[in-house]
Structure 1
Amino acid sequence: MAQPRVIIIGAGPSGVRCAEALVAAGLRPTVVDENRRDGGQIYRRQPDNFTRPYAKLYGTEAERAQSLHESFDALRGKIDYLPETLAWNIADGRVHVTSKQRTKALPYDALVICAGATDRLMPVKGWHYAGTYSLGASQIALKAQACAIGRQIVFLGTGPLLYLVASQYIKAGANVVAVLDTSPFMRRVAALPKLLARPAVLRNGFALVANLKRAGVQVLTGITPLEIKGSPETGVQGVVIRDNRGNERSFECDAVGMGYHLRPETQLADLARCAFRFDHETRQWLPEVGEDGRTSVPGVYLAGDGMKVLGADGAEIGGRLAAMAVLKDFKLKVSEDELQKLRAEQAKMDRFRRGLVQAFPWPAQQAAQLPDDAIVCRCEAITAGELRRVVGETGAQEANRAKAFSRVGMGRCQGRYCGHAGAEVIAHAAGVPVEQVGRLRGQAPVKPLSIAVREEVE
C-alpha cells in the first residue's frame, strides 16, 4: 500500500513537531515553508553570518528554540522540505505553491495547516506614518536584521508579546521610552485563577515587567491611545495617550511598535473550505476545529496558532496532536497514553489562554472612538469616516459588502491588519453586533504573486 501523501504548511513549532511525529511513524511528509529557514516567527533563525547566542536572541525561550532547531535539522533528510515557498491557494485536493518565479500544484491525501499567527492591530490616528511597525515586524528587524526600528521607541498595545518584544529590545541595547498598555491592571488580578494554570509562564511575565522597570522604562496600564504624531515627511515624532487617571500625556519617539495579541492566520483554512465560528471571548471568527485539529473538511487539519493562539509550546503540542489525528485516520498506530497526556496538557494551556484574553482584552471601544480622519485600512488609505459614510449611505452592514463600496481590505494585506478593526467600526456605525458584520472572505492568492510567475507542469 502506498504511503499517504501528507503536506504540512509551515515550519514553526507546530509544523516541526507534526513532521517529527509523522516521520517517527514511518511517513515522509512534505513541509512547505514561506521562510528561508525553519523556526517560524517566534523562533526565527538568524542569518548564517550572524553569531548571537541563543540566550541573547531568544531570552527565556532559548532552550526551546534550540531544541526545535536541532529537531528540524535531524529531520532534513527524512522529509521533502520546500523553504522560501509560498502556499497561495488550496483547491481540489491540491496545494498551490510558488517559489523562484515558478508555481505548481501539490496533491495531498492529508493536509496539516500550521500557518501560525499575525499581529492583531487596532488603528490609532497617525499609525500610517513611517516608523510605525507591528510587534512582529519589530521582532523580525531585531532577529533577522540585527537592528532596532528606531532610536527612541514606544511600544503600544496589550498582551504578553508587548512586554516580550520591549524586553528583547532592552536586552539588545535599544532605547525604549515607554510601554503603553491599554488593559487595566486590575483585569490581570481578576484573571489570576486562570493564569495560575501555568505558574512558570506567569512568573516569566512578571519578570519581564520587572526588568523593564528596572531598566528605567515607563510602563503604564489602562491607557487610551489618542494619536501618533508625525508627518509624511518626518515620519513618527511622538505618541499622545490618555492615562488611567484621564490625563493627556505625550512621549517623544521616532518609532512605535504596536500589537494587541495575535490573530490566527486563517486564510488558507478558508480556501480549504473549512467551517468557521464566531468566538465571543476574542471577538473574531475562527475555524471550527474538532478533536486533535480535525476540521469540517475530511483530510484537512489545523495545528498551532493558526487554529487557536496557545503560544509556542502549545503549538508544539498541537502539531503532535494533529500528526496523531492523521495517523489514526489512516489506521496507523498511535499511543493512546501519549494522546491523552497531550490532550490534558493542551487543556491546561487553553485555560491559561482564556486567562490572557481576560487580562488583556481586545479594545473594541477604541474603534468606535476613532476620529473620522483616522486611517483604518493602510493599504488603501480608507478612513473611519469613509467606512461610516458607506454604512450610512449604502446600508452596508456586512464586511464584504462594505469592502465592495469602500475598498477596505482590498490591499496587499487583504484585511489581515485592518479587518478586525474595520468590522468593529462598521458594527458601531450600523448599531449591530460585530458578529453580524461577518468576516472578509479569503481570496487566492493569499499574498501577492509576481506577474512573472510561471506554472510548472508535471
Structure 2
Amino acid sequence: MIKDLQSAADLAPAYDLVVVGAGPAGLSAAIEASAHGLAVLLADENEAPGGQIYRAVERASDADRARMGPDYAAGRMLIERFRRADLSYARRATVWSVGPADEETGDGAHALEVTISLGGTARPIAAHRVILATGALERPFPFPGWTMPGVMTAGAAQILMKSSGLVPSGRTILAGAGPLLYLLASQLLRAGVSVTAVIDTTPAGNWRSALPHLLGFAASPYALKGLKLLLDVHRRTRVIRGVTALKAVGSGQFSALRVRRGNKSMHIEGDLLLLHQGIAPNLNLTLAAGCDYVWDERLAAFRPTVDGRGASSVPGVSIAGDAAGIVGAVASAHQGELAGLSAALDLNRIGQAAYQQRRNQLARKLARALRGRAFIEHRFRPGKRFRVPEDDGTIVCRCEEITAGKLREVAALGVPGPNQMKAFTRCGMGPCQGRLCGLTAVELLAQCRGVAPGEVGYYRLRPPIKPVTLGELAALPHTEAAIVAVAGFVERAADGAQDIINGSQQ
C-alpha cells in the first residue's frame, strides 16, 4: 500500500528514486520501479493521482465516465495498481528544484537533490535518480481578444468537467486545432451543452505533409476512434473548416467571434469561447534542472533531448511521457515503465538478462502505441499565423500584458534571444514563468530575425520554477554556506547563526 505523505516532516531524507508528476507516465514509472524494490517517492501538485488525462477518475460516477469516454475510464485501472504499490506519495506537493546534491549537506551517496514544498514547508530530498513526468501544457493561442472574460482554454473546461462536474450553461463556441478540440466538443455535446460551432483553424496544406503517414495511421487504434469522433461532432453541431483569422469581440465580456475564411467573413454570437491548438512539452522543471533541449519542427515546439530509455543530458535525470515529446496517454505509460525499469537496472535491482527481456516487451508495446502519431502531428500542426500574431495589438504575455507590437519593437533593437527580450519588456517574467507566452515570444523573435526558433533558444529557467513563499524558504535547513552567503562572512562561525548575527552588529 502507498504511504500518503501530508507534510514535509513525513518525507524521508533520501530515496532511491523521486518521480515528479502523477499522470500516466509518472504513475507507471513509480509502479515499475517500486516493483523492483526501489524506495520511490512520487510527488504531484494535484489532490489525487491521474494527471490531466485521468483527473478525478477515481471518484467519477458511471455517468461521468460515460460522458468522458472509454480512454478516460481506463485510467481507473492504472490508479488502482498505483494504490497497491509499495511507495511514498506526496500529493499537493510542488517540486521547484532539481539539481546536483549540495556538497555540504549531501550524504555523498546520492547524486541529486530535489526540493519539495509540502504542507507549507520546503525540504531538500536526496535521490539516486529522478524521473520528470511533468506532462504537457496547452500551446499559447494569441489573437485579438483572447484574454477577455468569457474566453478560456479547452483544457480548463476539461478540468472543470472532470474535477467538479461543471459544464457551460450558455452558447459555447470551440475554436482551434487538434484532436482534443473535437474530443471536448463531443464530451460537451454528450453533457447537453449548447455547442454553437466548432471553428477549425487547421491549415488546409497540412494534408500534403500528413499523407505519407496515412497508412501507419490507418493501422493504428487512433483511426477508428478519430473517425467516430469526427462523425459524432459533425452530426451534432456546425463545423467550420479552413479558418484563416479570428477575433473575439464584446463589451467587457465575450459576446461574439469574428471568423474569416479566405475572403468570407462570419460573425458567430456566443457566451463562452473555448480555445485549443495542441499541446507542447512542459519544459520548466526540465530546463531548470539543466537538461539539453532542441526545437522540434514537427511539433513546432521545444522538447528535451532524451535517449531510448528516457535519460536526459543530466546524469541521473530521466524524462518520460509528454514532457519529453507529445506521445499520448498509452505511450506515456510505457515510457514511464521503461524509465522506471532503467532506474532499477542502474541501481542494480535487476539483472541484465531480466532487464533486457522486460525492456523488449515494453519496447514492443510502446511501438504499437506510437503507431499513427506521425500522421496526427503533421495533420494537426497549428498554422504559423495562429502561433505568431500578425496584429501588433494582440497581447502575447498575459502576466505582464506585453503586446506583439512591443516585442517587435524590441526585436528590432537586435536582441539575440528571449532572455534579453525578457530584460527589456518583462515578457516571461510573471507568475507563469513563460508557460503562456514562451513559444509565441520565441517564434516571434525568430521571425523578426529571419532565423529558426532553435537558433534563438528558449528562456533561461532557474529554480524556483513556481512561486514559493518566504515561509517555505525560511523552513529550509540553514547550512553554514547559506548563512555566510546572507551575512557576508567568509570564515566559519564557531557558534552558529547567532554569533554571525551578533558579529554583524559590532
TM-score (norm 1): 0.92
Cα pair distance change 1:141/1:47, threshold 3 Å: farther
In the aligned structure 2, how far is the partner of 1:105 from the partner of 1:57? 42
CA distance in 2, matches of 1:279, 1:162: 22
Per-residue deviation at 1:132?
Answer: 1.6
Amino acid at match of 1:67: M
Q: Aligned match of 1:341 in 356, 361, 381? A: 361
Cα separation, partners in 2 of 1:151 and 1:108, compared to 1, 3 Å:
same
2:331 corresponding residue in structure 1:
314
Q: Identify the residue that residue 61 of structure 1 maps to in structure 2.
A: 71
**Cα 1:368–1:160 shift into 2, 3 Å:** closer
- Kept in 1, the 8 Å contact 2:57–2:76? The answer is no
Partner of 2:272: 255
Identity %: 30
Could you tell me how far apart the structure 1 residues matched to 2:168 and 2:431 are? Answer: 22
Summarize the alignment of residues 3-402 of structure 1 with structure 2, pairs less than 5 Å apart: 5-45=16-56, 51-53=61-63, 55-75=65-85, 78-92=86-100, 93-149=112-168, 151-184=170-203, 187-188=206-207, 190=211, 191-198=213-220, 200-215=221-236, 217-231=237-251, 233=252, 235-243=253-261, 245-333=262-350, 334-392=354-412, 394-402=413-421
Deviations 1:124-153 (A, max 9, x none): 110010122122111101111211245121
Q: Tell me the residue number matched to 2:431.
A: 412
Change in Cα spacing, 1:237 to 1:312, as seen in structure 2 (3 Å) is: same
Distance (whole Å) between structure 2 residues aligned to residue 157 and residue 240 of structure 1: 13
Structure 2, unpaired ranges of 5+: 1-13, 101-111, 479-506
- Using the TM superposition, name which of 114-123 and 346-355 deviates more: 346-355
CA distance in 1, matches of 2:388, 2:56: 39
Q: Is the 8 A contact 1:181 1:220 kept in 2?
A: yes
Q: 1:104 to 1:415 in 2, by over 3 A?
A: same
Name the SS of the counterpart of 1:98 in structure 2: strand
- Cα displacement (A) at 1:237: 1.1
Call closer, same or farther: CA 1:388–1:107 in 2, change over 3 Å: same
Q: Structure 1 residue 46: deviation in Å?
A: 5.6
CA deviation string 1:283-327 (max 9, x = no partner): 322111012111111111111111111110011101101011111
Partner of 2:484: none
Deviations 1:76-108 (A, max 9, x none): xx1111000011111332111112221111110
Deviations 1:37-73 (A, max 9, x none): 000000001685x645453253121442221221122
Counterpart of 2:448? 429
Distance 1:186 1:428 in 2: 20
Structure 1 distance, partners of 2:446, 2:149, is: 29
SS class of match (1:109): strand
Tell me the distance in 2 between the aligned counterparts of 1:367 and 1:270: 22
Question: For the pair shown, which has the larger CA radius of gyration, 1 or 2?
Answer: 2
1:421 shift after superposition: 1.3
**Residues 1:19 and 1:180: Cα distance change in structure 2 (over 3 Å):** same
Q: 1:130 to 1:52 in 2, by over 3 A?
A: farther
- Tell me the secondary structure at the aligned position of residue 293 of structure 1: coil
Distance 1:368-1:90 versus aligned 2 partners, 3 A rule: closer
Number of aligned residue pairs: give it. 447
Q: Assess if the C-alpha contact under 8 Å between 2:419 and 2:460 holds in 1.
A: yes
Amino acid aligned to 1:455: A
3-state DSSP of counterpart to 1:286:
strand
Residue identity opposite 1:237 in structure 2:
S
- Cα pair 1:377 1:383 within 8 Å, conserved: yes
Deviates most, 50-59 or 25-34 = 50-59
Q: CA deviation at 1:423?
A: 1.5
Give 2:302's aligned amino acid. Answer: W
The structure-2 alpha-carbon separation of the partners of 1:40 and 1:367, relative to structure 1 and needing over 3 Å to count, comes to closer
CA 1:367 to 1:305, structure 2 compared with 1: closer, same or farther past 3 Å? closer
AA aligned opposite 2:170? R
Structure-1 separation of matches of 2:228 and 2:205 = 18
Structure 1 stretches of 5 or more lacking a match? Answer: none
8 Å CA contact 2:151, 2:272 repeated in 1 = yes
- How far the C-alpha of 1:221 sits from its partner, in A, is 2.1
Distance in 1 (alpha carbons) for counterparts of 2:471 and 2:245: 43
Aligned equivalents of 1:272 and 1:38: distance in 2?
A: 24
Structure-2 separation of matches of 1:369 and 1:295: 33
State the alpha-carbon separation in 1 of the partners of residues 87 and 303 from structure 2.
Answer: 30
